[in-house]
């Protein structure tokens, strides 16, 4: 049997349609509950009520097909934003050559954010928060992903244990993430 089809075309947007939100939550459950076993049954929490859900959606034949990556962002104090629940479906984690829509201003990719779906989701999250007035942006990152985040211009503030696993609270260099006017347009359309 041939492997399942894997698209090389992706749109980065906010989960708005019912099917996007359903798949956004399904991907989170698959990664954080079933695969990593960080949560039992559901990873939903109070942050979900105020967070902006961001998705990477594969494009098949010109049509949005399925959610393959997720992250959420939320403002916890004026100007202080957090990103969390970053995840990419296993089949797409090592994909390094792909086309991106709705991410970079003027369609011009910025390295290293165009080198993986996860990196592109980080870019979408931080550049969106920057456009919405972020002065600081943090994430609590699983220990095995700290080096990856450092390559994306993040620094560790301190180590912490969450859900019985080692993590690091990290802060990003916002100057490396220009404000996303594409995101502002997408949010206006959604309103």
- 41: CB partners within 8 A, 6+ apart: 33
Between CA 80 and CA 151 the distance in angstroms is 22
pTM flag (> 0.85):
yes
Query: In degrees to the nearest 10, what's the CA dihedral of 39, 25, 116, 171?
Result: -60
In-domain check, residue 144: no
Q: How far apart are the first and last CA of the chain?
A: 44
Counting the structural domains of the chain, the total is 1
1 belongs to a structural domain: no
Residue 84 domain flag: yes
Which residue range forms the structural domain that includes residue 79?
9-133+178-190
The reply to whether 170 falls in a domain is no
CB count within 10 Å of CB 152 equals 20
Q: Which residue in the block uniquely carries the two structure tokens 């939100």?
A: 21
Encoded tokens for 97 = 């050559």
**96-119: pLDDT as tens digits:** 777 777 788 777 777 788 889 999
Q: Which of 144, 149, 155 is nearest to 122 (CA)?
A: 149
CATH number at residue 79: 3.40.630
What pLDDT is attached to residue 43? 94
Q: How confident is the model at residue 191 (pLDDT cuts 50, 70, 90)?
A: low
């Amino acid at each position: 049997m041939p492997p399942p089809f894997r698209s090389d075309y992706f749109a980065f947007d906010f989960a708005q349609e019912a099917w996007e939100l359903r798949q956004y939550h399904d991907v989170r459950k698959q990664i954080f509950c079933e695969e990593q076993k960080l949560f039992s049954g559901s990873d939903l929490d109070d942050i979900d009520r105020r967070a902006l859900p961001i998705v990477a959606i594969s494009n098949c034949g010109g049509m949005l097909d399925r959610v393959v990556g997720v992250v959420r962002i939320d403002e916890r104090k004026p100007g202080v934003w957090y990103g969390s629940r970053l995840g990419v479906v296993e089949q797409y984690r090592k994909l390094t050559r792909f086309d991106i829509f709705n991410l970079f201003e003027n369609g011009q990719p910025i390295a290293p954010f165009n080198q993986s779906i996860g990196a592109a989701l980080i870019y979408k999250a931080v550049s969106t928060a920057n456009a919405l007035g972020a002065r600081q942006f943090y994430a609590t990152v699983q220990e095995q992903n700290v080096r990856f985040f450092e390559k994306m211009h993040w620094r560790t503030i301190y180590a912490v244990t969450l859900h019985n696993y080692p993590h690091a609270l990290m802060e990003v260099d916002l100057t490396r993430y220009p404000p996303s006017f594409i995101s502002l347009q997408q949010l206006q359309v959604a309103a």
